[in-house]
Every structure is written in C-alpha cells, then in structure tokens.
Amino acid sequence: EHPVTEAVFGVDLVALQLRVAEGDPLDPVVPAASGHAVEARLYAEDPARDWQPQTGALLTLEVPDAPGLRLDTGYTGGDAIGVHYDPMLAKV
C-alpha cells in the first residue's frame, strides 16, 4: 500500500505520479528508507458470519491523534454503512 511506502521513504507517491503524468522526469536519486511503517485496516465485517460485510450505523469512530499516525477514512461517527460499497471503514 502506498501510505506505508510514503511513510518509510518520505515521498508523496500520488503527487509524484501526477508530476510524471505531466511530463516531469523522475529524480534518478532513490530516497533512502527511514524507519518502519505498519498499516491496519478496519472493516465492517462479522467474524461470526464468515466475515461477511455488515450494514448499519457506525456509532463512533475514534482514532487518537499521535505523531506519525495517518488515518484514511470517509466515515465519521453517526454514518450509515451501506451494502453498495467496500466494507472497509478506515486505514490506520
């Protein structure tokens, strides 16, 4: 996943792809890795039902703010989880 690579190499890969698409050359110097990164994904799935996607109200979604923490989500507490999209709630 690109957020993990971005965290370790300090590069915005999406912005880099857009610049390359506009004709800018890639920098020949490869950035050095620094540190480690882990990504966890939160899904609206029920383990008791063979991990089937679940619908309903997302009562709360609270992720503590911490240095180096990235949260990618389109949900907030009170949102409805529907059946017409991926059950992934967030990437942390």
> What is the per-residue pLDDT across 49-83, written as a single tens digit (0 to 9) for each?
999 999 999 999 888 889 989 999 999 888 999 88
> What is the phi/psi pair of residue 78, to 5°?
95, -10
Q: Where are the domains of the chain?
A: 1-39, 40-92
Question: Which pLDDT value is given to residue 63?
Answer: 87
Q: Of 87, 12, 15, 23, whose CA–CA distance to 55 is shortest?
A: 87
The residue written with tokens 């409805």 in the block is 80
